[in-house]
């Protein structure tokens, strides 16, 4: 028993030393650790949003919209192709997850199939009864498109948030089609939510001046055109004006390379610049339509519809639209960051202000210190000298938890602090098991050394069993939990591991040292 292998002593001391080294950066301000040599551990505990304040948003990419858009484009392709091939049909439209139509003459399915699959190999064409034709997009193609939409959305979300100047945002994919956004230090996320709530698809389209807008308002919208509302809202909450706009897109906003808020005659406007392809198209269209108005359309709302006075050949221009300074800034930001491939929906929002976070940390510290003091006093009363040894182990345990949290950069949350406090209470359990066993063995007449040896050896399997069962619960908590709860699972698991180490290794080492030095006849336990 008194023999403790050298390598074990070295290992235990090394772990304890590393613990202190990794925990130390938390004692000083972050600005101090930055000046340290890079050989020294300098990472501090990563505080969760509930402690440092900030906003947590769970967004969902509306992938159904992606499917719908794909099917709409299939309808367009089909319409054009069948018209070109002079195939008669009726009832072309979307039905569930497919495009359907009714061909005039039976036996044309093969022809339709040949035409469509030449253009888009992802399409399958099935013949139904009585000339009914069903066109489907293959499952793999749809899934791939949804995947791409989610990935692109994450990229756009990141760009938009970076543009707002938020510090250290976290943007992660969660599950199939969700995006988790964490914004430290943001206590009013309304602006960011507004920015993320728009797909910001911008297109330039000509205003339809051939047909009467009054007719269209009365319900007779010409096939190639569309009525769109103005984005200016009147006092009654309804759009101030409707525009009759051609469906055909003149130039699309994805050819923009830059957009900046600026002023034009004292009015906030957004200046933009096209890439070479966009510039050429814009130049061609404006040259051919001088004198006609064109509409600048953002998410199916008309921002403004200026008249083309002369061909715009330089590839740049300005958008004016009664903006406030903030609106002009936001629009420029959205245009720079690019359009979202599908709308985003906010599923969950949790925001903690800086005041509450600071209060929670303070309360957590008080609770941890009080809990610690209570346990320390209790252990000394119950076990005397051995209680003091257990307390030394308890302090080392706490240091190791802090060190592990810092080194792993795990996030400490409010429930996480509760987890640490709970661990303080449970950590001494392993020591209690050992000490009670030693008492028992002493009562059974064993001499000190042999009683201590038996106490440790017999208690170990119990300690492992009891800690592992708690560990199981913690792991499940991590798997099924989210946010702060995961933080709790992490601190609880780390606490269980470190407390097993301190109880089995550290206290044992101290007890052996003490035994070697004093060689007691009886045990003060």
Residues 40-99 that bind other proteins (CB under 8 A): 58
Residue 518 has which token pair? 């004093």
Q: At 319, is the secondary structure helix, strand, or coil? A: strand
Instruction: Please answer whether residues 475 and 493 qualify as being in contact, where contact means their C-beta atoms are separated by less than 8 angstroms.
Output: yes
* Contacting residue, 418, 451, 500, 509, with other proteins by CB under 8 A: 418
393 binds other proteins (CB under 8 A): no
Place of tokens 């030393």: 17
Taking the complex as a whole, how short is the minimal distance between the CB of residue 8 and other proteins, in angstroms?
A: 25
Residues 419-438 that bind other proteins (CB under 8 A): 419, 421-422, 424-426, 428-429, 432-433, 436
Taking the complex as a whole, how short is the minimal distance between the CB of residue 104 and other proteins, in angstroms?
A: 42
DSSP string, 247-296: SS-SEEGGGEEEEEEEEETTEEEEEEEE-HHHHHHHHHHHHHTTTSBEEE
Nearer to other proteins, 171 or 433 (CB): 433
**Conformation bin of residue 175: beta by default, left when phi > 0, alpha when psi is -120 to 50:** left
In whole angstroms, give the CA distance from residue 134 to residue 109: 10
Residues 230-269 that bind other proteins (CB under 8 A): none
Residues 443-472 that bind other proteins (CB under 8 A): 443-445, 458, 461-462, 465-472
Q: At 43, is the secondary structure helix, strand, or coil? A: coil
Nearer to other proteins, 81 or 327 (CB): 327
192 binds other proteins (CB under 8 A): no
27 binds other proteins (CB under 8 A): no
477 binds other proteins (CB under 8 A): yes
479 binds other proteins (CB under 8 A): yes
Residues 323-362 that bind other proteins (CB under 8 A): 345-353, 355-356, 359-360
DSSP annotation of 82 reads: H
Taking the complex as a whole, how short is the minimal distance between the CB of residue 48 and other proteins, in angstroms?
A: 13
Size of the site for other proteins (CB under 8 A): 85
* Contacting residue, 25, 169, 278, 387, with other proteins by CB under 8 A: 387
Mark the segment that binds other proteins (CB under 8 A) among 65-73, 142-150, 257-265, 416-424.
416-424
Residues 132-191 that bind other proteins (CB under 8 A): 187-188, 190
CA–chain centroid gap for 461, Å, is: 42
476 binds other proteins (CB under 8 A): yes
Mark the segment that binds other proteins (CB under 8 A) among 19-27, 101-109, 161-169, 386-394.
386-394
Mark the segment that binds other proteins (CB under 8 A) among 120-128, 206-214, 314-322, 412-420.
412-420
CA dist 488 → 53, 115, 419 (Å)? 18, 59, 5
Residues 268-287 that bind other proteins (CB under 8 A): none
Taking the complex as a whole, how short is the minimal distance between the CB of residue 339 and other proteins, in angstroms?
A: 19
DSSP annotation of 503 reads: I
DSSP string, 131-191: GEEEEEE-HHHHHHHHHHHHHHHHHHHHHHHHHHT-SS-EEEEETTTEEEEEEET-S-THH
- For 93-115, b/e burial (b = at least 16 CB within 10 A) is eeeeeebbbebeeeebbeebbeb
In whole angstroms, give the CA distance from residue 350 to residue 54: 8
Taking the complex as a whole, how short is the minimal distance between the CB of residue 381 and other proteins, in angstroms?
A: 5
Place of tokens 């359907």: 100
Taking the complex as a whole, how short is the minimal distance between the CB of residue 443 and other proteins, in angstroms?
A: 7
Among candidates 321, 357, 349, 491, which has minimal Cα distance to 422?
A: 491
Residues 484-513 that bind other proteins (CB under 8 A): 484-485, 488-489, 492
201 binds other proteins (CB under 8 A): no
Taking the complex as a whole, how short is the minimal distance between the CB of residue 425 and other proteins, in angstroms?
A: 3
């Amino acid at each position: 028993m008194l023999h403790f292998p050298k390598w074990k002593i070295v290992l235990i001391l090394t772990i304890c030393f590393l613990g202190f080294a990794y925990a130390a950066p938390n004692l000083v301000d972050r600005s101090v650790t930055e000046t340290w040599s890079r050989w020294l551990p300098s990472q501090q505990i990563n505080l969760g949003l509930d402690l440092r304040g900030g906003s947590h948003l769970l967004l969902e990419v509306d992938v159904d919209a992606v499917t719908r858009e794909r099917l709409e484009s299939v309808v367009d392709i089909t319409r054009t192709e069948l018209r070109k091939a002079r195939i008669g049909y009726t009832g072309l439209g979307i039905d569930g997850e497919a495009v359907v139509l009714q061909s005039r003459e039976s036996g044309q399915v093969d022809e339709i199939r040949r035409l469509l699959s030449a253009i888009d190999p992802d399409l399958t064409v099935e013949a139904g009864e009585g000339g009914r034709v069903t066109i489907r997009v293959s499952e793999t193609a749809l899934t791939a498109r949804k995947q791409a939409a989610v990935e692109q959305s994450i990229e756009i979300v990141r760009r938009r948030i970076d543009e707002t100047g938020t510090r250290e945002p976290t943007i992660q994919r969660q599950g199939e089609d969700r995006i988790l956004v964490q914004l430290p230090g943001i206590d009013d996320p309304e602006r960011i939510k507004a920015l993320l709530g728009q797909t910001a698809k911008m297109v330039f389209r000509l205003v339809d001046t051939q047909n009467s807008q009054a007719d269209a308002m009365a319900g007779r919208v010409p096939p190639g055109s569309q009525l769109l509302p103005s984005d200016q809202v009147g006092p009654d909450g309804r759009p101030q004006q409707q525009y009759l706009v051609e469906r055909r897109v003149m130039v699309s906003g994805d050819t923009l390379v830059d957009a900046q808020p600026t002023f034009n005659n004292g009015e906030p406007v957004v200046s933009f610049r096209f890439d070479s392809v966009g510039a050429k198209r814009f130049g061609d269209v404006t040259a051919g339509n001088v004198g006609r108005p064109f509409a600048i359309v953002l998410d199916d709302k008309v921002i403004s519809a200026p008249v083309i006075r002369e061909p715009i050949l330089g590839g740049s221009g300005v958008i004016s639209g009664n903006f406030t300074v903030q609106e002009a800034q936001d629009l420029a930001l959205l245009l720079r960051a690019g359009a979202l491939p599908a709308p985003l929906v906010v599923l969950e929002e949790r925001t903690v202000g800086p005041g509450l976070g600071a209060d929670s940390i303070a309360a957590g510290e008080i609770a941890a210190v009080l809990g610690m003091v209570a346990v320390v006093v209790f252990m000394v009363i119950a076990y005397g000298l051995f209680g003091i040894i257990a307390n030394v182990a308890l302090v080392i345990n706490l240091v190791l938890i802090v060190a592990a949290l810092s080194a792993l950069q795990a996030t400490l949350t409010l429930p996480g602090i509760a987890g640490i406090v709970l661990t303080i209470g449970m950590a001494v359990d392993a020591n209690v098991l050992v000490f009670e066993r030693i008492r028992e063995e002493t009562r059974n007449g064993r001499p000190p050394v042999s009683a201590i040896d038996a106490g440790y050896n017999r208690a170990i399997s119990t300690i492992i069993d009891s800690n592992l069962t708690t560990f199981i619960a913690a792991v499940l908590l991590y798997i099924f939990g989210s946010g702060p709860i995961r933080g709790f699972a992490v601190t609880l698991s780390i606490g269980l591991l470190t407390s097993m180490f301190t109880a089995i290794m550290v206290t044992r080492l101290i007890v052996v040292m003490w035994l070697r030095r004093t060689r007691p006849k009886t045990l003060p336990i």
